[in-house]
Amino acid sequence: MLMYRFEWNERLLIALPVLEADWRQYSSRQQSDIVEQWELIRGTIPDRIMEFERIINRKQNQLYDEENFEESCRLNAEIAEYASRINDLHIWYRTNQELDSRRHT
């Protein structure tokens, strides 16, 4: 039986699927189990995005009032990192559609 698991990703604050084989090699039952687990995790992604957006907004407010150049650079880098996390979460959010369509082929 092919193995799969979900590993916690500290950067994105969600568990991500780790498949040890090509999707088509998993049985229909395994595919269904994976999609079901992923759907539960996927449902938390909008909350993570909103959480990261709130952090960005706070940092932008800090940046607006910041006069120290080095601190401004640090805040800009942190804002960019959270924006990157949001982008990655959007990509993972769309992954469900890909898994589901592969399951039906």
Contact assessment for residue 88 and residue 17, using Cβ atoms and an 8 Å cutoff: no
Q: Is the pLDDT of residue 102 over 70?
A: no
Select the more confidently predicted residue: 102 or 96: 96
Model confidence band, residue 2 (pLDDT cutoffs 50, 70, 90) = confident
Q: How many domains does the chain have?
A: 1
Taking only the tens place, the pLDDT of each residue in 48-80 is 999 999 999 999 999 999 999 999 999 999 999
pTM here?
0.86
Which domain covers residue 26, as residue numbers?
Answer: 4-103
Contacts of 8 (CB under 8 A, 6+ apart): 14, 15
